[in-house]
Structure formats: structure tokens, C-alpha cells
């Protein structure tokens, strides 16, 4: 389930419409830190908003 959330978050970040916090909540995380930790565990890097 975490992998699905992270993959969806990558799609949302690519749209450049949402902040990291908004993406975290949209994919079902209750906090930005929980999202960041999960993302880092799966992707081996921290999430970044694309500019």
C-alpha cells in the first residue's frame, strides 16, 4: 500500500500543482514527516517539489 501511495505522490508532484504537504495528505498520510520518512525508505531519497 505504501508503494502505491508513493507512486501516486510522484505523479502529483510532477503536476507542480501541490506543495509537499498537500501531496502527503492527498495520498493518505497524516503528517508531512510520516510521508517524508515513507518516501525516503522506498525511494532512497527525500521527496522534492519539482520546479
Residue range 10-38, pLDDT digits in tens: 999 999 999 999 999 999 999 999 999 99
Q: Is residue 20 part of a domain?
A: yes
Assigned domain for 7 exists: yes
- Residue 35 located in a structural domain: yes
Say if pTM beats, i.e. exceeds, 0.85: yes
Residue 13, in any domain of the structure: yes
Whether residue 26 is contained in a domain is answered as: yes
Total domains, the chain: 1
Assess if residue 50 is contained within a domain.
Answer: no
Range of the domain at 17: 2-43
Asked if 40 contacts 9 with a C-beta cutoff of 8 angstroms, the reply is no
- The residue to which cell 506543495 is assigned: 19
Q: Looking at the domain assignment, is residue 37 inside a domain?
A: yes
Range 10-19, long-range pairs (CB < 8 A, 24+ positions)? 13/47, 13/48, 13/49, 13/50, 14/50, 16/49, 16/50, 16/51, 19/49
In a domain, 18, yes or no: yes
Q: Reply yes or no on whether the pLDDT at 49 is more than 80.
A: no
Amino acid at each position: 500500500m505504501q508503494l502505491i501511495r508513493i507512486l501516486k505522490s510522484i505523479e502529483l508532484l510532477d503536476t507542480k500543482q501541490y506543495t509537499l504537504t498537500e501531496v502527503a495528505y492527498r495520498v493518505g498520510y497524516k503528517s508531512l514527516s510520516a510521508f517524508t520518512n515513507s518516501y525516503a525508505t522506498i525511494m532512497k531519497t527525500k521527496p522534492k517539489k519539482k520546479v
